[in-house]
Amino acid sequence: MSTDQEKAEFYQSLAKQAEALIEDERNLIANLANLSALIFMSLEDINWAGFYLVDGEELVLGPFQGKPACIRIPMGAGVCGNAAKNRTTQIVSDVHQFEGHIACDAASNSEIVIPILSGRRLIGVLDIDSPSIARFDSIDGLGLQKMVDLLQETIV
């Protein structure tokens, strides 16, 4: 993607596709599976896209696309655990510089993680990895947040 405008337009189109996939479905696992597949096939230069779901004081692996991944992540540990604990999007340019990074795949070099909420209750996180340094920026954050917003609307 060559310009910020083109990237923003790409995410608008992706959000429309996501909405069409999940708008009439209330099953969380089905929606997570479809969204992980859509993200994985649509975004360039990524090697993992999926979800971790809250299970007590941990995140447990949910639907994803990519290589096998870490199954459980403690709240506050790694990029996913920090995003979940703080309920804030994490954009990490170089995961090897992130203190406490959990290396599920040594090929991953950058990561974006977005919390998923239902009201004030944390449901899980969307996690996307890339083999490139600094793959994700604020435009990715805004575009992927829109997809999470659509997902949150389907959670009952």
Q: Which CATH number covers residue 130?
A: 3.30.450.40
Mean pLDDT for the chain?
94
Give pLDDT, residue 2: 63
The stretches in the chain having pLDDT less than 70 are 1-2
Give pLDDT, residue 1: 47
CA gap 108, 44 in Å, rounded: 14
Give pLDDT, residue 144: 97
Tally of domains in the chain: 1
Domain with 143, as residue range(s), is 4-154
pTM exceeds 0.85: yes
| CA nearest to 113, candidates 100, 98, 129 | 129
The helix/strand/coil state of 48 is strand
Q: Print burial letters for 96-113: b (CB count within 10 Å at least 16), e (below 16).
A: eebeebeebeeebbbbbb
